Amino acid sequence: MMIPAIDLIGGEVVRLYQGDYAQKTNYQYTVQERQQAYAKSGATVMHFVDLDGAKDSTKRQLETLKTVVNHPSMIIQVGGGVRCEDDVKQLLALGADRVVIGSLAIKQPELVTQWLKTYGCEKIVLALDIKIDAQGNKTLPTHGWIEDSGVNLEDLLAQYQDAGIKHVLCTDISKDGTLTGTNVDLYSEVCAKYP
């Protein structure tokens, strides 16, 4: 499934080239306008990334997120800097249907597996940013793609599959924010192995 995503900084819609805050493009429409355009186009799930919250979870864009989480015809998932259970609780209480967890899902899978049990598999989304090397190995960098986790995609997915995970976002970081399309081969392979 293709899910439209909106990245937010300071309440504005942005795009980062390969996750680089220094290579930011600002768009001239509001987050609500963009969300409505996606809804009119038939989107039933919407993904929001709070890039302020990703840098500092105390700067989460709660006021902006409040304006988009209760859309009547969309499932809303929100991520960006989810570092502890209080962050999960805060986003669910705000009205998000799902909370997206990235680096923590790689660094502390036992903790995130516990959240799957506590909040239900429908409420948690793994966000796995994938780096593919020349040999085809799929590793998972963390913390804005700065740290090499040493974790392999297939091993982590197998672990979470056993825990009952239902939602996983995979991003080939070589393509992210570049407007060059998606890695269809990667996504087809992952979907075939982990339906």
Q: Note if 7 is an active site residue.
A: yes
Q: How many CB atoms lie within 10 A of CB 31?
A: 20
> pLDDT digits over 9-30, tens only?
999 999 998 888 899 999 999 9
Q: Note if 97 is an active site residue.
A: no
Question: How far, in Å, are 48, 132, 144, 165, 190 from residue 160 at the CA level?
Answer: 23, 20, 22, 6, 13
The token duo for 22 is 């220094």
Point out the catalytic residue in the list 7, 52, 87, 176.
7
Q: Is the dihedral of CA 22, 26, 30, 35 positive or negative?
A: negative
> pLDDT digits over 132-189, tens only?
888 988 989 887 777 788 899 999 999 999 999 999 998 888 776 777 778 888 889 8
Point out the catalytic residue in the list 50, 129, 148, 155.
129
Task: Write down all domains in the chain, each with its CATH number in brackets.
Answer: 5-193 (3.20.20.70)
Predicted TM-score (pTM) of this structure: 0.90
Helix or strand run (H / E) with residue 66: helix 62-66
Q: How far apart are CA 181 and CA 32, in angstroms?
A: 25
